[in-house]
Amino acid sequence: MRTTKCLLMAALLGVSAMGAGCVVAALGAGAAAGVGTYAFIKGELDTVEEVSLDRGWEATNDAVKDFEFTIKESAKDSMKAKLLVLEADKTEIRISLTADGEKRTKFGIRVGVFGDEAKSRLILEKIRKHY
């Protein structure tokens, strides 16, 4: 019993040492297992969506146009796609798509160097409107 308490205390100390943002991300990671939910971990918003890679790519490009971002890099093949775009203030936004089956796609969105969850969610919602 004493060993169990020691292990539990060590685990709690380890989690608290990660910082509040990581704790929220760790709790959100369990929810990310479902399609359509997301996790914000280490500055990147990650989600798996019920959409083909091709349709997700089209929706992402449509959302980028809606936001009037400048496209710096764009690449796509049958399994992966990525966009590097710039906001008006030159903040870089990286959007990656990876096929996760025929009708599922994993999206990753990072705003700036450290990430911005609110902007990442806004971009994801705009992409979803274009499916």
Q: Which domains does the chain have, with CATH numbers?
A: 32-129 (3.30.310.80)
Q: Do residues 15 and 87 lie in contact, with contact meaning Cβ atoms separated by under 8 Å? A: no
pLDDT in tens, 14-46: 544 444 444 344 334 434 446 778 999 999 999
pLDDT in tens, 66-93: 999 999 999 999 999 999 999 999 999 9
Tell me if the pTM is above 0.85.
no
Distance of CA 81 to CAs 10, 35, 57, 129, Å? 41, 19, 7, 19
- Nearest C-alpha neighbor of 107 from the set 32, 23, 42: 32
- Nearest C-alpha neighbor of 49 from the set 28, 26, 57: 57
- Nearest C-alpha neighbor of 96 from the set 115, 110, 117, 114: 110
